[in-house]
Amino acid sequence: MTQRIPNVVSIAGVDPSGGAGILADVKAMSANGAYACAVVAALTAQSTVGVDAIFAVPRDFVARQIDTLFADVRVDAAKVGMVGQAPVIAAVAERMSHWRPPHLVLDPVMIAKSGHGLLEKAAVGALRESLLPLATMITPNLPEAGVLVEAAPPEDVKGMRRTAERLRRAMAHDGERWVFLKGGHLPGGDAIDVLHDGDRMIELAAPRVDTKNTHGTGCTLSAALAALLPQSPDVPSAARRAKDYLSQAIAAAGRLEVGKGHGPVHHFHAWW
């Protein structure tokens, strides 16, 4: 029997350089065996060097995109990335609460690789209060985790474990809920992430790749997770596959020649 191809949607912003946001999500989802759909929540004037401007899509139109898509397409998983402003967050949370996709991966995008802000400060509370409880998995990096728990970012793996516990307590308590805390900001030879569901605490390690081409790594990982969760026997299996995919995409990034700043990872490293 042929395995059903999952339909997966990215709700995020558009990065014209293709390294992050919806374009990166569609590549990562496609590379991991899913049919990718997208809802545009924000537009950016952005490159590998930085973010020049952000234009928020009106909240009612974001909601209209979601409703039109979900009314027609069976959605097996959704990923929420850059949503930018509190009204858009509210609209996304409201429609996700209505449609309830089986898997909802929340990547709390706050700062671009260049250091430019992608989430208004006033919107952090809205994200924490309305989207966090709906997520079945959240994928913050260490600075984002610090903002979400209103504390300093973790400085070591022990601190990551404590922060993962705090993040898990902030999520809803019904059903299976996971924290995928990314440790790429920590020094060391390995990039160590922590996966936690309130009971199990799993460390995922991969050799760190020395490259400046890391634009969109967070988007790529969360999109890969959304694609793989419906295809995997359990969450840890999907997490390991997603991390392995991203590690190989980073390692192959040097084959691309895109931009003058932080270049993108190679989403299609296994095919090109």
- Contact indicator for 190, 63 with CB cutoff of 8 Å: no
C-alpha 266/C-alpha 272 separation (Å) is 9
Contact 124, 149 (CB under 8 A): no
pTM (2 d.p.): 0.94
Instruction: Report the pLDDT value the prediction gives residue 25, as an integer from 0 to 100.
Output: 98
In this prediction, residue 190 carries a pLDDT of 83
User: Is the backbone of residue 21 left (phi > 0), alpha (psi -120 to 50) or beta?
Assistant: left
Active-site pick, 214, 220, 243, 263? 214
Residue 48 known to be catalytic: no
Cα separation, 243 vs 195, whole angstroms: 11
Which member of 219, 220, 243, 263 is catalytic? 219
| pLDDT tens digit at each of 272 positions of the chain | 458 999 999 999 999 999 999 999 999 999 999 999 999 999 999 999 988 899 989 999 999 999 999 999 999 999 999 998 899 999 999 999 999 999 999 999 876 555 555 566 778 888 888 999 999 999 999 988 988 988 888 888 899 999 999 999 989 888 899 999 998 777 777 889 999 999 999 999 888 888 889 899 999 999 999 999 999 999 999 999 999 999 999 999 999 999 999 999 999 999 99
21 tagged catalytic: no
Angle at 10 between CA 269 and CA 163, to 5 degrees: 90
Catalytic residue among 27, 79, 182, 243: 182
CA–CA gap between residue 147 and residue 119 (Å, rounded): 12
Q: Given this model, what pLDDT does residue 119 score?
A: 66
Of these residues, 19, 21, 81, 216, which one is catalytic? Answer: 216
Q: What is the pLDDT of residue 1?
A: 43
pLDDT at res. 109: 81
Catalytic, out of 19, 21, 218, 263:
218
Catalytic residue among 217, 220, 243, 263: 217
Q: Please confirm, yes or no, whether 219 is among the known catalytic residues.
A: yes
Question: Is 216 part of the annotated catalytic residue set?
Answer: yes
- Please say if 13 is a catalytic residue: no
What φ, ψ does residue 95 adopt, rounded to 5°? -75, -35
Which among 124, 39, 135, 141 has a CA at the least distance from the CA of 85? 124
Q: Which pLDDT value is given to residue 3?
A: 81
Give the architecture (CATH level 2) of 7-255.
3-Layer(aba) Sandwich (3.40)
Three-state SS for 143? helix
